Amino acid sequence: MNNENLSFATIAITGALGGIGREVTRTLSKLGAHVIAIDLLEQGEGESELRKIAPNESTYLQSNLTDNQSLRNVIEKMSEGEFPNAVVALAGIVISGDLVTQSDEDIEDVINCNLTSQIKLSREIIHHWQNKSIEGQIIFVSSWVDHVPWPGITPYASSKAGLVALSRGIARENAKFGIRSNVLSPGIVDVGMAAKQWREENDYKLRAMRAIPLGRLQSAQEVADGVSFLLGPRALYMTGSNLLIDGGASLYPMDPEDVN
């Protein structure tokens, strides 16, 4: 491992085979980490996808993190091998639509995946780190909408705001163990869920086109660079922080007619 770049040798990445996850996985693998990629894809298919992006030392673990047993299994498998000393929590979903149009299931799915499963996963990870005196770090991936009312994704934004509280709580409770927790909040990225909304929801595209002061979508590499920074030696004093890398999107009012 190149210690100039990363302070952690074994890094678990949830949602590792998603749009942003692939770039984060590729980048951390290139920097010399043993990556443990966790995603929904069936084991064989996941392994072959992972080989394409992280041909060095890497492990794929299939898990649906919203399922308690599946989450426990993934923790157990990691305990049998090299347990990660850092986690990048990227697994997430978005369901678009004004709140009044969203069903109970839509709301529960978003909160379960984006918040509840992350609370449970971090509880298990931290329990292990405390028992083994591992000074680990968790990075939760939130979004610039954790404090900006972008229309049509209110349950999603609520889940992301919850992640900020989760991370700060973990940071406060675990600083005495040398365990740190930080949030990274990207803007509007040109892959994954935002790219899908951009393609499929005209309203979203019109708003997004006008809402980024730097005038372009964010690359997944720019998110991966933020993750690498938080996992590196220059961020050792950071805990309980929310690193916002959004091209200024959160600086703008949200209704198109209010922009400019």
Ligand X SMILES: NC(=O)c1ccc[n+]([C@@H]2O[C@H](COP(=O)([O-])OP(=O)(O)OC[C@H]3O[C@@H](n4cnc5c(N)ncnc54)[C@H](O)[C@@H]3O)[C@@H](O)[C@H]2O)c1
Could you tell me the smallest distance in angstroms from the CB atom of residue 14 to ligand X?
6
Select the span of 42-50, 64-72, 78-86, 127-135 touching ligand X (CB under 6 A): 64-72
Binding of residue 136 to ligand X (CB under 6 A): no
Query: Which residue in the set 8, 12, 13, 15 belongs to the binding site for ligand X (CB under 6 A)?
Result: 15
Query: Which residue in the set 102, 143, 167, 174 belongs to the binding site for ligand X (CB under 6 A)?
Result: 143
Binding of residue 17 to ligand X (CB under 6 A): yes
| Alpha carbon 244 to chain centroid, angstroms | 13
* Residue 162 or 192 having the CB closest to ligand X: 192
Could you tell me the smallest distance in angstroms from the CB atom of residue 66 to ligand X?
4
Is the separation of the CB atoms in 114 and 159 below 8 Å? yes
Binding of residue 96 to ligand X (CB under 6 A): no
**131 Cβ neighbours under 8 A, 6+ residues apart:** none
Please tell me the distance from the alpha carbon of residue 151 to that of residue 97, in angstroms, as a whole number. Answer: 8
Query: Which residue in the set 9, 93, 111, 148 belongs to the binding site for ligand X (CB under 6 A)?
Result: 93
* Residue 50 or 90 having the CB closest to ligand X: 90
Query: Which residue in the set 10, 18, 85, 180 belongs to the binding site for ligand X (CB under 6 A)?
Result: 18
* Residue 192 or 226 having the CB closest to ligand X: 192
N residues, the chain: 260
Query: Which residue in the set 39, 49, 146, 222 belongs to the binding site for ligand X (CB under 6 A)?
Result: 39
Q: Which residue has the tokens 């980024």?
A: 212
Three-state secondary structure readout of the chain: CCCCCCCCCEEEEECCCCHHHHHHHHHHHHCCCEEEEEECCCHHHHHHHHHHHCCCCEEEEECCCCCHHHHHHHHHHHHHCCCCCEEEECCCCCCCCCHHHCCHHHHHHHHHHHHHHHHHHHHHHHHHHHHHCCCCEEEEECCHHHCCCCCCCHHHHHHHHHHHHHHHHHHHHHHHHCCEEEEEEECCECCHHHHHHHHHCHHHHHHHHHHCCCCCCECHHHHHHHHHHHCCHHHCCCCCCEEEECCCHHHCCCCHHHCC
Question: Residues 66-85: x/- map of binding to ligand X (CB under 6 A)?
Answer: x-------------------
Could you tell me the smallest distance in angstroms from the CB atom of residue 175 to ligand X?
25
Binding of residue 64 to ligand X (CB under 6 A): yes
Could you tell me the smallest distance in angstroms from the CB atom of residue 193 to ligand X?
4
Query: Which residue in the set 46, 61, 78, 92 belongs to the binding site for ligand X (CB under 6 A)?
Result: 92
Binding of residue 162 to ligand X (CB under 6 A): no
Judged by the rule CB under 6 A, the positions of this chain that interact with ligand X are 14-15, 17-21, 39-40, 63-66, 90-93, 113, 141, 143, 186, 188-189, 192-194
